[in-house]
Structure 1
Amino acid sequence: MTGLLGSLARDTGADDTIREIGQQPGIWREIDGIVAASRAELDGFLQPLTARDHLRVVLTGAGTSSFAGQVLATTLARRLGRRVDAVSTTDIVADPRGCFAEDLPTLLVSFARSGDSPESVAATELAEQCLSDVRHLVITCNEEGRLAREHSGRTTSYVLLMPPASNDRGFAMTSSFTGMTLAALLALGGAAYAQVTERLARAAERILRDGVFDEGIDALLARAPERIVYLGSGALRGLAAESALKVLELTGGQIVATSDSSLGFRHGPKAVLNEHAVVVVYVSNDPYTRQYDLDIIAELRSTMAPGSVIAVEAGDDGTPDEGSWRLPGAGDIEDAALALPAVICAQLIGLKAAVLRGIRPDNPFPSGEVNRVVHGVTLHPLQH
């Protein structure tokens, strides 16, 4: 393995995380094949639903899995011409009547790495309690997980299994996140994404194999940041949230990471900035949305130290300068797809920051105060 991943020592407790970040281009190609092979069955299940005028699509999951829905929601709404909402399983379980207040025909798309988190199955059960007409698309990396087992064989459910290798063994979700996001984009977006996977994989290989961002990541971490802020607009707002979580998880909370939209950041959250902060802005490929990302970059660069505001954007030249990292070959890709190679930047930042601090990324919480698969949740019955 070359690039930053290949440079990390093998005794740092990062073997799983290194492998799972590095395998993403191959996982994406495999998922493209899985969805293509399942196309007839998927269309037979999905097309009668998406043809319904009043269909509501709810994208759900917990933590990183919920951010997959946030990345996809607005793009799929445009593609389907239907209402698409990203609602976390944790919100559904806590307030099912509020989340399903309108009794509309609903497609619940559940993202789950393991499918064994308490909220995963509970959210699907609560949807069925609150709604008179609900179907389930389950996208999961674990064939043996409870979510997959509960929904396999149902006529009202379709279980789309990811490659076994995508069921990340490391603490933080990496290839599971990008793989499930891609699978939903291909399954629900249809022919519009027929050629996108190979372009995304090649962009990721430039980042991972050729190390086009390694110098920039080293320079960013040489600043010894105590706070990292990720910003993004539209689909990239969800990417910003996932990026912040990756840094927070992999460094065991030693680096405080937060996220917001490019416009929303001014409305109070900007108070997090100090001399030990850096800001990473994901720049939209949409010409209209992009203007707001460029505005906040210019504003922050006028007041912050040189090199502390990074723009991650598509461009033919993958070589970063002090303030701009360009995703190679991604100039005309929709933002929801652009998020896949872009998130690798945050994965690598979190991984190397952890190693530099002596944290073992595969298990950054050895005392168990935060767990890979959440437990300890008491599920309370919904009283009618």
Structure 2
Amino acid sequence: MTYNTFPNPSLQITKDHQIFIKENPVEKPGPGQALVHITATGICGSDVHFWKHGQIGELKVLGNCIMGHETAGEVIELGEGVTDVKIGDRVAIEPQVTCGKCFLCLQGDYNLCENTKFLAVYPNDGSMQRFKVVNAQCLYKLPDNMSFEEGALCEPLSVAYHGVERAELELGRGAMICGAGPIGLATLVMANASGASPLVISDLSAERLEFAKKLIPRVKTYQIDLKKSSEENAEGIRELFGPDEEDAPPRVLECTGVESSVITAAYVARRGGSITVIGVGRPTFNNFPFMKLSLAEIDVKFINRYHQSWPPVIKLISEGIIDVKPFVTHRFPLEKADEAMKLSSDPKNGSIKVIIEDKVKVL
């Protein structure tokens, strides 16, 4: 195999918040595994958070770890017993491997498995490297009309897909999306595909709201005013839906995880409606509006990643129902992945999705 002649650079972080490019050994695929040439990896906010803060909730960086979990590539070697993919297949990678034995896995909720191994969550190395061994069951073939970049974007779109699925959006009924970051924008395109109407999205950034408007022209936008309370911002958002209580959205999807935004969502949702929290926030909130939600019988739901989402997301992209190409605002070669992370970590740079690409031909 010609790939043996190529180096395997990787982007690694340390527990003391260092970041660097380092050569990584190339593993051989074992039974049920495949070696993939990683050709496109998106930078996620969690990658930056692990680098800058060293943990997300209970997940801590305790040693060197390779980043990256939004990934697509080409199969270049197969382990024993692998028959669902072949060498040369273009694939998107679901980055979680679960036990497959617990009651959660057996009932289909494998994303809730407590024994999950997830790419780029220490001690599991991620995909910001040229070659990565993965379980073949995590590979999904890409149609010819989908690029590797679109394959990598199946991961953040899967988060949004699971959020919209949990929120139970309905045709012709309003939906509010809090946050126009990458996950909020992914949720917007999914909500648009669902037929929910009207759609409103909020954010602090006028630039991101403008991006959202270009992405989905029918969406209404609201710029959060930090001088106003959560209730006051909620009042302004509700006005975009209509003057009466019945006009308020029955579904709110909170994509920031920020406490003030979750509170705003509580005052936006219609009585009897629901809030689905997609964003990742602090371990605890001090000002959760318990009685507001209780008296209005507003359900609060949460999501943890995704399950069984790659096949439908691939169909949505390949059949042109959603367009994810505009998400990619910056591209970097693998050898400059550290520069890409630094750019992605600074909001002033205006990135939506930064892609690490590797264009070498190894087969």
TM normalised by structure 2 equals 0.37
Which structure has more strand as a fraction of its residues? 2
Q: Given the two structures, how large is their TM-score scaled by the length of structure 1?
A: 0.35
Greater share of residues in helix: 1
